[in-house]
Amino acid sequence: MVTVAICGLGSRGKDTYAKCQHIFPERMKIVAIADIIPERVEEAGQEYDVPISMRFSSGEEMLEKEKLADVMFICTQDRQHYGHALKALERGYDLLLEKPISPVLSECRELAQTASRLGRRVVVCHVLRYTPFYQYLYRTIRSGKIGQVAAIQAVENVGYWHQAHSFVRGNWRNTELSSPMILQKSCHDMDILVWLSGKSCRRVSSFGSLMHFRPENAPEGAAMRCQDCKAKGKCPYDAEKIYLTDERTGVLHGHTGWPANVLVSHPNEERIRAALAEGPYGRCVYHCDNDVVDHQIVNLEMEDGVTVSFTMCAFNQGGREIHVMGTMGEIVGDMNANTITVTVFGQKPETVDVRTLADDFSGHGGGDRRLVEDLLDLEEGRAGQALTSIETSMESHYMAMAAEYSRLRHGETVELEKFVNET
């Protein structure tokens, strides 16, 4: 039995990773929890039968104690990761560490070095490597079916409502408070592109901006909060639509998980309306303190001349798409539709429904559960895959940070090795 302490009981800690105890009850036991919101601590404590003495009001308070478990899940905010992770490593914990490792390159490097020096395992939550979708892509590329990879085009369609929720109104809206969006949202994608291509990155350039979610773009009649707004009828970003009436995300259609449960515990119409009246998620998207981009393109030159184009954009319905072009064929994948089409030149295309390859696609296309399962395998001494160690995950952070550096300098080409050595 692997014992777990959870530092941070937000959407990832409480509603994603903690739930794995119900999936693997014979392999995982939560024995200590910490969060700054007492209601979350109380609920998680009751659900997982955590003794009151092992319920803490902050990560700092929990980390004052000697080692309490085999592994600590660090699921706090981006700029807290470094302090919590460093202390946990020193206490003797192995870690499941939410991405990004840190928004500061030197802190990422120090955590990797500390883990190596102390002989501690750190698994970074680059969960996409564990999804049936990307696993199939990886195997197909490695089979040689499409020859040598020459170019990749990848798109992260963030989704207009997700952008409004997380990156305009939410926790990751402001770089100084969290991370640049290309790091916070898309270090996933940087990691996947390295993994799929099998090549390290050499050069990076990037363009992008905060184009739309600005005060000057507010429609006539817009108020500071959605509930008071005269323009809400025609605004797709109206908070009441997103959290109450939208068929994909609204509580009135039975959607009481993410994103609604970020606003309140146990969401219902009354509690959501109260949160929108008083909290940050009821603010007009044109009058928030956001500064992260709403669209960005990243160009990557990999080893051996392989080129990659990656686009992250808010203005769509959401979902990841990828086009891998090889010397003998191509692969087109749509993660939202869960389809992958492989075409060997001169042959009929073959389309695979990824849903036939696995029985669980919850949480990042099935990646969340499989990452935790892999960590449990490693902790139990089984032959885990160890796909997302902190050492492996560093390159994605270097690439994302270099992309942001380039963007802020109007697309200046960045030599990645030089950037890493001098930053």
Q: Which of 182, 183, 185 is nearest to 165 (CA)?
A: 185
What integer is the mean pLDDT of 330-348?
Answer: 97
Question: What are the tokens at 108?
Answer: 């990422």
Q: Looking at the structure, tell me whether residues 86 and 185 fall in a common domain.
A: no
pLDDT at position 386 is 85
Residue 377, in any domain of the structure: no
SS (H, E, C) 14-74: HHHHCCHHHHCCCCEEEEEEECCCHHHHHHHHHHCCCCHHHEECCHHHHHCCCCCCCEEEE
Average of per-residue pLDDT across 372-398: 93
326 and 204 share one domain:
yes
- pLDDT digit string (tens) for 49-76? 999 999 999 999 999 999 999 999 999 9
Q: Write the CATH number for 409.
A: 3.30.360.10
* Per-residue model confidence (pLDDT) at position 366: 87
7 and 92 part of one domain: yes
Within-domain flag for 312: yes
Say which residues have a Cβ less than 8 Å from residue 422's Cβ, sequence separation at least 6.
none
Answer whether residue 411 shows pLDDT above 80. Answer: yes
Q: Please give the residue range of the domain that contains residue 331.
A: 128-213+291-360+390-422
Task: Kindly tell me if the per-residue pLDDT of 360 is higher than 80.
Answer: no
The confidence score (pLDDT) of residue 52 equals 97
Same domain, 52 and 108: yes
Residue 384 has pLDDT above 90, yes or no: no
pLDDT at residue 363 above 80? no
Which residues does 28 contact at the CB level (< 8 Å), separation at least 6?
Answer: 1, 2, 4, 20, 21, 372, 376
Final residue of a domain: which of 282, 312, 340? 282
- Distance CA(282)–CA(226), nearest Å, equals 6
From 124, 139, 158, the end of a domain falls on 124
23, 96: one domain: yes
Residues 169 and 298 in one domain: yes
Looking at 238, 254, 282, the residue that finishes a domain is 282
pLDDT of residue 166: 98
pLDDT at 396: 98
Whether the CB-CB separation of 12 and 40 falls below 8 Å is answered with no
pLDDT at residue 240 greater than cutoff 90 = yes
Q: What would the mean pLDDT of 105-111 be, rounded to a whole number?
A: 97
Residue 383 lies in a domain: no
Residues 299 and 182: their CA atoms lie apart, in Å, by 13
Per residue in 90-102, pLDDT (tens digit) is 999 999 999 999 9
Q: Are residues 327 and 200 in the same domain?
A: yes
pLDDT of residue 407: 98
Does the structure show a pLDDT above 90 at 332? yes
Residue 367 pLDDT greater than 90, yes or no: no
- Quick check: is 378 in a domain? no
Q: Is residue 380, in this structure, part of any structural domain at all?
A: no
What are the tens digits of pLDDT across the range 245-255? 999 999 999 99
- What integer pLDDT is reported at residue 325 of this predicted model? 98
Q: By percentage, how much of the chain surpasses pLDDT 70?
A: 100
* Of 211, 285, 289, the residue nearest 241 (C-alpha): 285
- Same domain flag for 348 and 399: yes
Please tell me whether residues 51 and 144 are part of one structural domain: no
pLDDT tens for 109-164 read: 999 999 999 999 999 999 999 999 999 999 999 999 999 999 999 999 999 999 99
Residue 379, in any domain of the structure: no
In a domain, 384, yes or no: no
**Are the C-beta atoms of 195 and 385 separated by less than 8 Å?**
no
- What average pLDDT score do residues 385-405 get? 95
Domain identity same for 138 and 108: no
Calculate mean pLDDT across residues 73-81. 97
Give the pLDDT mean for 388-400: 96
d(CA 131, CA 369): 9
Q: Give 9-50 pLDDT, tens digit per residue.
A: 998 999 999 999 999 999 999 999 999 999 999 999 999 999
Q: Are the C-beta atoms of residues 176 and 221 closer than 8 Å to each other?
A: no
pLDDT value for 382: 85
Q: Is the dihedral of CA 108, 118, 90, 4 positive or negative?
A: positive
Q: Are residues 208 and 220 in the same domain?
A: no
Domain count along the chain:
3
**CA–CA dist 260, 267 (Å, integer):** 6
Average pLDDT value for the chain? 96
Asked whether residue 361 carries a pLDDT value surpassing 80, the answer given is no
CATH of the domain at 27: 3.40.50.720
pLDDT of residue 375: 95
Q: What is the pLDDT of residue 277?
A: 96
Residues 333, 321: contact at Cβ < 8 Å?
Answer: yes
For 202-222, write each residue's pLDDT tens digit. Answer: 999 999 999 999 999 999 989
Residue at 10 is within a domain: yes
Asked if residue 365 has pLDDT above 90, the reply is: no
In terms of domains, do 11 and 113 share one?
A: yes
- DSSP states of 266-296 as a string? S--HHHHHHHHHHSGGGB-TTSS---S-SEE
